[in-house]
Amino acid sequence: MRSVIKKFFSVMLVLVLIFWFASRPQRLAHDDLPTHQPDPANGESLFYAGGCVSCHGEGLGGGLEMESPYGVFRVPNISPDKETGIGNWTALQFVNAMQKGISPDGRHYYPAFPYTSYARMTIEDTIDLKAYMDSLSPVNNRTANHELYFPWNIRRGIGLWKRRYLDPSPILDTGGLDAVIERGRYLAEGPGHCAECHTPRDEFGGLQAARWLAGGANPEGEGTIPNITPHSDGLASWSAKDIAYYLRSGFTPDFDTVGGSMVEVQENTAQLADADLAALAAYLKAIPARPKTTKE
């Protein structure tokens, strides 16, 4: 009996060590950063493409609470405040947060923070984004921690989740794309993180690439998010000009107006250059047409 117990604990120890190794945080080192002069003007465009204010609030002081099947997520302060925000973060720490989902103290971030999309950004653009955010006024606001259910409150397990879902590869095949569609792909799949709302998720909370942008359950509550692929269930009847105009003005082709959580998104896209809106529209007309999601 003693030998059986000993073997049991030996096996458990091996499994724990495997889990600990496989789930370890993987981050970039300082030598991985390119030599780059930060460009706050480019960072401002990325800031609006990402709609940072929509989640983090005016001033980026955070505090929004998001109910989910996993518990309550609380949006942090990302203003340049040195005590309660990210004012003391280095460029490397910011890049690791945005692209690897790793906090400055080495913990995994939960993917309610859409780093699986931001991982598709270039490091240079990520640095530019930080340069612009550093130019904003600091907001002193210490936000509360998340309140998640077991086992989701075991943050280390996110390391295994990342091995399956954190992939910086583009979704739309970039081979043969013209420069406009390529720019739209970059904005939509990266800083714009459109799929985080418009793509359904599997049982582990990962995006289903096979149903990319086909709509799904509202991640913030009741209702659904619409299909924005060029399918008859989605934007097939919209021209690229219609889409760009909607993102600029908030008006649909049939003279309806933007509603719901998209209101704040559109307020941000309205700040983008015409060329970027045209690129986003071209991308949405180029992706595979998928029928709308009817079962979650």
In tens, the pLDDT along 177-208 reads 899 999 999 999 999 999 999 999 988 889 99
Decide if domain 33-167 falls under CATH 3.30.70.20. Answer: no
**What's the pLDDT score for residue 168?**
94
pTM: 0.89
Residue 118, number of CB atoms within 10 A of its CB: 23
Q: Which two structure tokens, joined as six digits, stand for 119? A: 């991982």
**What's the pLDDT score for residue 16?**
63
Residue type, 270: A
Residues 6+ apart with CB under 8 A from 232: 289
Specify which of 3-7, 110-114, 153-157, 291-295 reaches the highest per-range mean pLDDT. Answer: 110-114
- Across the range 228-237, mean pLDDT stands at 93
Domain boundaries, the chain: 33-167, 170-296
Quote the CA–CA distance of 163 and 160 in Å, as a whole number: 5
Instruction: Give 29-73 as a 3 state SS string.
Output: CHHHCCCCCCCHHHHHHHHHHHCHHHHHCHHHCCCCEEEECCEEE
**What's the pLDDT score for residue 22?**
67
- Mean per-residue pLDDT over the chain, rounded: 89
**What's the pLDDT score for residue 296?**
45
Q: Which two structure tokens, joined as six digits, stand for 262? A: 């998209």
**What's the pLDDT score for residue 4?**
63
Q: Sorting pLDDT into bands at 50, 70 and 90, what band is 81? A: very high
- Across the range 12-16, mean pLDDT stands at 64
Q: Are 55 and 64 in contact (CB under 8 A)?
A: yes
Quote the CA–CA distance of 198 and 78 in Å, as a whole number: 24
CA 200 to chain centre: 14
Quote the CA–CA distance of 244 and 224 in Å, as a whole number: 23
Residues 6+ apart with CB under 8 A from 223: 217, 260
